[in-house]
Amino acid sequence: MKLANRYSDMQPSGMVKIFQAIEKMEGVLNLSIGEPDFDTEHDIIDAAANAARSGFTHYPPLQGFVDVRAAVCDYWKRHHGLDATPEEVYMGVGGIQIPSLAMQALLDPGDEVILIEPYFPPYAAQVKAAEGVAVAVRTREENGFAPALDDLKRATTPRTKLLVLNSPGNPTGRVIPRGQMEEIAAFVAERDLLLLSDEIYEALIYRGKHTAFATLPGMKERTLTMGGMSKSHCMTGWRVGYAIGPAELIRVITLIAANQTYGLNTLAQKGSAYALANHDAKLIERRKIFAERMNYVVERLNKMKGVACAPAEGAFYLFPNITGTGLSSEDFVWKLLENAHVATIPGSAFGESGKGYIRIACTCSMENLTKAMDKMEAFLKTL
Ligand code: PLP
């Protein structure tokens, strides 16, 4: 068998390598996975099951049920002031499907996509699969890992079509302040670019308020907003994501996806509509729990020799600087896993700007976070 040239050197990403290593180990305290530890609430499961009993067991409409898309619009209007109609929404198989479809719809071979480091690794693979060219822009912790305008200018060429922004960000947990977003918006307009705004962590903000990029003046027609049910509503296994954007782009995305998935699981859509309409109080409850966990971990990390961690801002990730330990992020993470059975992700898995950092997901109980911090502290004393 001869694989396609572009996939003949396919290797697991730095993130997947850790996940695969953990599968073979026992008793690991897992701070590597970007998945809330809470199960989906039972009333959401009941809503999906009831829909099935009342006959929703057939193929879904290709773009998504109109009532489900309307629930997405209501949610975004209520929480973020974003005005959208169901015509401007596509229901996809996880948030992860959205950038992939957007790139297929938008890129001609050789078109360039700007990715802001450190970034969610699938973006780069999706650019490659769509025959585009990923152009990475470095960022620095001093600037909150937001892109500097000069760096964006240097990275932009006449072939640049799309800029991908992710705030609250994975892996940094940083939130790009509104002022910086406005600068980026002005740049996007000046260079006539489109912006893919990955806002999957919109519900998880601990400081300030989330700014939906599409609500900035003039940005709605240039922005494809990506959201989903995985992180906000603890529905990772349901695989529900969505895109909100210009109707023509949504139309083409829907047609491309028709040849790939033929719509999003009917029951998952019905459960999602219920969750979007009824679970605002739960979002607040869980945000509080994540904030407590993250504040605790930040405090513990900052007492450890060689480790410095900025306060939690968003998502459920912390991205401590570990350069003071003398270890590279890869060595730190693999030694910590092998010697202390605590799993994290090396910052380098998210691009060059992540070197010297590790990603910690606060997605387990306070009890396990306490144990993990005790073990990390003991591990650092052995260096
Ligand atoms: N975008 C970012 C930044 C993520 O961290 C994730 C998941 O970890 C996704 C998108 C995709 O999430 P899902 O496909 O579960 O909706």
Q: Ligand 1 pocket: which of 18, 120, 233 to mutate (most atoms <8 Å of CB)?
A: 120
Residues spanned by the domain of 325: 12-40+281-381
Instruction: Assess whether 256 and 109 both reside in one domain.
Output: yes
pLDDT in tens, 215-240: 999 999 999 999 999 999 999 999 99
The confidence band for 8, taking pLDDT boundaries of 50, 70 and 90, is: confident
Instruction: Assess whether 91 and 136 both reside in one domain.
Output: yes
Instruction: Assess whether 321 and 268 both reside in one domain.
Output: no
Q: Does 314 contact ligand 1 (Cβ within 6 A)?
A: no
Total-model pTM: 0.97
Instruction: Assess whether 273 and 307 both reside in one domain.
Output: no
pLDDT in tens, 13-70: 888 999 999 998 999 999 999 999 999 999 999 999 999 999 999 999 999 999 999 9
Q: Is residue 300 pLDDT above 90, yes or no?
A: yes
Give residue 96 CA to ligand 1 midpoint distance, Å: 5
**Residue corresponding to tokens 């959201």:** 227
Question: Do 346 and 358 meet the contact criterion of CB atoms below 8 Å apart?
Answer: yes
Instruction: Assess whether 80 and 151 both reside in one domain.
Output: yes
The confidence band for 203, taking pLDDT boundaries of 50, 70 and 90, is: very high
The whole-number pLDDT of residue 330 equals: 96
219 alpha-carbon distance from chain centroid: 21
The whole-number pLDDT of residue 329 equals: 96
Q: What is the mean pLDDT of residues 322-334?
A: 97
Domain C-terminal end among 225, 250, 278 = 278
Percent of the chain scored above 70 by pLDDT?
100
Q: Is residue 208 pLDDT above 90, yes or no?
A: no
Q: Does 95 contact ligand 1 (Cβ within 6 A)?
A: yes
Instruction: Assess whether 215 and 340 both reside in one domain.
Output: no
The whole-number pLDDT of residue 272 equals: 98
Closest CA to 312 of 329, 333, 290: 290
Domain C-terminal end among 262, 278, 294 = 278
3-state secondary structure of 380: helix
Q: Is residue 205 pLDDT above 90, yes or no?
A: yes
Residue identifier of the C-alpha nearest atom 16 of ligand 1: 95
CA distances from 64 to 35, 72, 86, 282 (A): 24, 11, 9, 25
Q: How many domains does the chain have?
A: 2
Closest ligand 1 atom to the C-alpha of 166? 3
Q: Give the type of residue at 46.
A: D
The confidence band for 11, taking pLDDT boundaries of 50, 70 and 90, is: confident
Q: What is the CATH number of the domain that holds 173?
A: 3.40.640.10
Taking all residues of the chain, what is their mean pLDDT, rounded to a whole number? 96
- Give the C-alpha separation, 293 to 370, whole Å: 9
The whole-number pLDDT of residue 189 equals: 97
Q: Does 198 contact ligand 1 (Cβ within 6 A)?
A: yes
Contacts 24+ apart (CB under 8 A), 66-73: 67/273, 68/269, 68/270, 68/272, 68/273, 69/242, 71/272, 71/273, 71/276, 71/277, 72/227, 72/242, 72/244, 72/276, 73/244
Q: 4 exposed, middle or buried (CB, 10 Å; 0-12, 13-18, 19+)?
A: exposed
Instruction: Assess whether 87 and 204 both reside in one domain.
Output: yes
Domain C-terminal end among 215, 244, 278 = 278
Closest CA to 354 of 127, 169, 181: 169
Q: Is residue 177 pLDDT above 90, yes or no?
A: yes
Closest CA to 66 of 52, 92, 87: 87
Residue 7 within any structural domain of the chain: no
Instruction: Assess whether 36 and 49 both reside in one domain.
Output: no
Residue 71 within any structural domain of the chain: yes
Instruction: Assess whether 193 and 57 both reside in one domain.
Output: yes
Residue 352 within any structural domain of the chain: yes
CA distances from 60 to 99, 251, 312, 358 (A): 21, 16, 39, 41
Closest CA to 147 of 120, 121, 174: 174
Q: Is residue 160 pLDDT above 90, yes or no?
A: yes
Residue 196 within any structural domain of the chain: yes
Residue 5 within any structural domain of the chain: no
Count Cβ neighbours within 10 Å for each residue of 330-367 and write b for 16 or more, e otherwise.
Answer: bebbbebbeebbbbbbbbbbbbebbbbbbbbbbbbeee
Helices (H), the chain: 14-23, 42-53, 66-80, 97-106, 122-129, 149-155, 178-190, 247-258, 266-278, 280-302, 329-340, 366-381
19 φ, ψ to 5°?
Answer: -60, -40
Instruction: Assess whether 162 and 195 both reside in one domain.
Output: yes
The confidence band for 94, taking pLDDT boundaries of 50, 70 and 90, is: very high
Residue 331 within any structural domain of the chain: yes
The confidence band for 367, taking pLDDT boundaries of 50, 70 and 90, is: very high
Residue 363 within any structural domain of the chain: yes
Give all strands of the β-sheet with 345-346 in edge-to-edge order: 317-318, 358-361, 345-346
Q: Ligand 1 pocket: which of 35, 97, 123, 170 to mutate (most atoms <8 Å of CB)?
A: 170
The confidence band for 6, taking pLDDT boundaries of 50, 70 and 90, is: confident
DSSP conformation letters of 1-23: ----GGGTT----HHHHHHHHHH
3-state secondary structure of 198: strand
Residue 3 within any structural domain of the chain: no
The confidence band for 366, taking pLDDT boundaries of 50, 70 and 90, is: very high
Q: Is residue 304 pLDDT above 90, yes or no?
A: yes
Q: Is residue 270 pLDDT above 90, yes or no?
A: yes
CA distances from 149 to 175, 191, 272 (A): 17, 12, 38
CA distances from 127 to 103, 109, 121 (A): 6, 10, 11
Closest ligand 1 atom to the C-alpha of 228? 16
Q: Does 168 contact ligand 1 (Cβ within 6 A)?
A: no
Instruction: Assess whether 249 and 366 both reside in one domain.
Output: no
Instruction: Assess whether 167 and 67 both reside in one domain.
Output: yes
Q: What is the CATH number of the domain that holds 330?
A: 3.90.1150.10
Q: What is the mean pLDDT of residues 262-270?
A: 98
Q: What is the mean pLDDT of residues 282-304?
A: 97
